[in-house]
A and B are shown apart, each in its own frame.
Chain A
Amino acid sequence: MIDVSSSIACPECGQLHRYQPIAQGKTAMCKRCGSVLYRNRKHMLESVLALTTAGLLLFFLSNLFPLLGLRAQGVEQDLLLFGASVAFWGQGYHLLAGLIVLNTIVFPLFELVSLMIISLTAKYGWKPGLAIFLFRWMREIKPWGMLEVFMLGILVSVVKLGDLATLIVGTAFWSFAGLILTMAAASSMLEPFVVWRMLGHCKERQHAVTT
């Protein structure tokens, strides 16, 4: 039997490798397909913690203040992040409203909170149960958090409305841009292989759990 505790398989192609610790700042790559296996980053957990703290602050700013305003003939209309899905709800497209709330509010918040709990657990050696659960679902949910796509949507809308009326760029627009940057930085900082190893080791001759 192969010793499972010291072997790792490439996440992309399944190629087996022997696990070796690498120096700080180095990257281990698959010998067959060239995908990244793991990196040894300096101050990884501290950076993730700092970035997610900043991210949470920006998240609340982005939700409390209007993103955009429109003024036409003395009437002003504001749009909150939440207002985008309220608009669909009001027109009877409840599924779409739900989808947008998930894409722009629920999933990004879930990712931020998960990143924070995962790195705190890894840093302070807390019981890993919750962090393992969150990390597992964060990976599934990540593509469905669409802040940067929404930002592109804002830019397209701004151009479309440009000649129609006076546009006001709201406070939340800037915190929203900051939130996208901090979240991208935080999730690219977190090295999945390293963190999974911190949360739990694969034991030698370990069997899959059957139910």
Chain B
Amino acid sequence: MQSRHEPQTAREAGLLQCRTCGCLSHPPAQVSKRTIMRCPRCGARLHLHEHSNSIEITWALLIASALLYIPANTMPIMSVYMLGSGQPDTIISGVFHLLESGQWPLALVVFAASIVVPLLKLITLSFLLISIQRKSRWRQRDRLVLYKITEYVGRWSMVDVFVISILVGLVQFGNLARVEANAGSLSFAAVVVLTMFAARTLDEHLIWDISRKEEQH
């Protein structure tokens, strides 16, 4: 099959493709799992696909962030003290406060960034991993777009952490009004950071490469 057709992808041609600068290079004659290969142009690490542990690492990060998602949503993220009496806020109660004060567009933005996006990220990344592991050929281009969106929107979840930092920094009027950070904010930030790493470690080329291999059989 390969003698009749030009190789289609870098992988089929037996080439290493640098994920940082795009430079193509030939792998050395003998490669074991231990060999560390670097891009001849930019020096970034190169991996052979069969040695890639992208799926395992991504699963590990996903499971860790799924566990942290629970305290992130149940524990209070900050407390607002007005005239001495304090009231702890979770992420969802913060959204309700915005709704009560009639700020529904903003409530929607915070709801999307803090609750929907992290949850959707956990679901989409798991779906992508499972579909890669099942060597699925179903709608590869759409799955790549799904991956791109997931990778892009993740950082917007940090907005709640920033809001806490701004409120804590600004509202320090002693007994009159005071805002304090609570432990939920730490787990929430950890969820955002871990899912961002998970999206980064998932090698999106696997969506395409597996089907190519299957077609050749």
Chain A residues proximal to chain B, CB less than 8 Å? 1-2, 4, 7-9, 11-16, 32-34, 68, 70, 72-73, 75, 77, 79, 83-88, 90-91, 93, 95-96, 99-100, 103-104, 132-133, 135-136, 139-140, 143-144, 146, 149-150, 152-157, 159-161, 163-165, 192-193, 196, 199-203, 205-211
Contact = CB atoms under 8 A, between A and B. Distances in A.
B38 A157 contact: no
Interface residues of B, number: 75
A87 B110 contact: no
B167 A91 contact: no
Contacts of A132: 21, 41-43
B162 A205 contact: no
B25 A206 contact: yes
Given A135-B42, A211-B38, A16 B8 contact: yes
13 contacts: A2-B13, A4-B23, A9-B24, A12-B205, A84-B169, A87-B169, A95-B186, A96-B185, A153-B159, A153-B166, A206-B23, A208-B16, A209-B43
A208 B42 CA distance: 11
A7 B17 CA distance: 11
Given A160-B97, A210-B38, 11 more contacts: A14-B208, A15-B9, A16-B7, A73-B176, A132-B42, A136-B20, A143-B154, A149-B158, A196-B21, A207-B40, A208-B39
Contact of B159 (A32, A135, A136, A152): A152
A26 to B, nearest CB: 19
Secondary structure type dominating chain B contacts: mixed
5 A-B pairs with the lowest CB-CB distances in the bound complex, closest first: A153-B162, A87-B169, A9-B10, A87-B168, A14-B9
A140 B22 CA distance: 14
Given A16-B10, A16-B13, A68-B170, A207 B26 contact: yes
Contact of A161 (B41, B167, B181): B167
Contact of A96 (B144, B161, B172, B208): B161
Given A1-B26, A72-B177, A202-B24, A79 B170 contact: yes
